[in-house]
Amino acid sequence: MNQRRTLRVILVALFGVVAYIGFGHAAEPAATEQLSEGNVWTTSDGKEYFTCPVMGGEGLVEEAPAFSDVEGVRYYHCCGGCQEPFRSNPAKWLKGFAVPGNIVTMDDAGKHFVDPVDFTKGLVKSKTAFFDLDGKRYYFASKKTMKRFQKNPPAIFRE
């Protein structure tokens, strides 16, 4: 009877390992599958940041606490609580969503940008002029330079 119980424990453990391996890998993309990153932006020093499409929180990609893979695209989240709402209806959260397009540095003061029209440097504030183009948000030193950009965005910003 002791041998039967030992055999049963071994079989249950083996089944658990097989299930873990089989189901665990099913949730992750195959090693050959290359995911693009849908909400990542890079500063001039090469650091990769993300903007959460659900709550709008930002952080370093290497420190992201959660992510969702949707149709070959990885989206990082500011917290684990954003995964389920995002996964249940990604279109809702991505409608009108834009990541920064011209942030050059981040520090304790905030996000620093360079105006793509007159190259003025600035710090993003609540009243900073911006314009969204192809899923990216561009910040401007003035409404005048934003309007010039809107009339004819340089080809480099439409890639």
The model's pTM is 0.72
pLDDT exceeds 80 at position 111: yes
Residue type, 138: Y
pLDDT at 156: 60
Q: List strands edge to edge, sheet with 73-77.
A: 36-37, 73-77, 66-70
Report yes or no: 101 and 78 within 8 Å, Cβ to Cβ.
Answer: no
pLDDT at 99: 95
Tokens of 11: 């079989």
Q: List strands edge to edge, sheet with 40-42.
A: 40-42, 48-51, 58-60
Report yes or no: 84 and 90 within 8 Å, Cβ to Cβ.
Answer: no
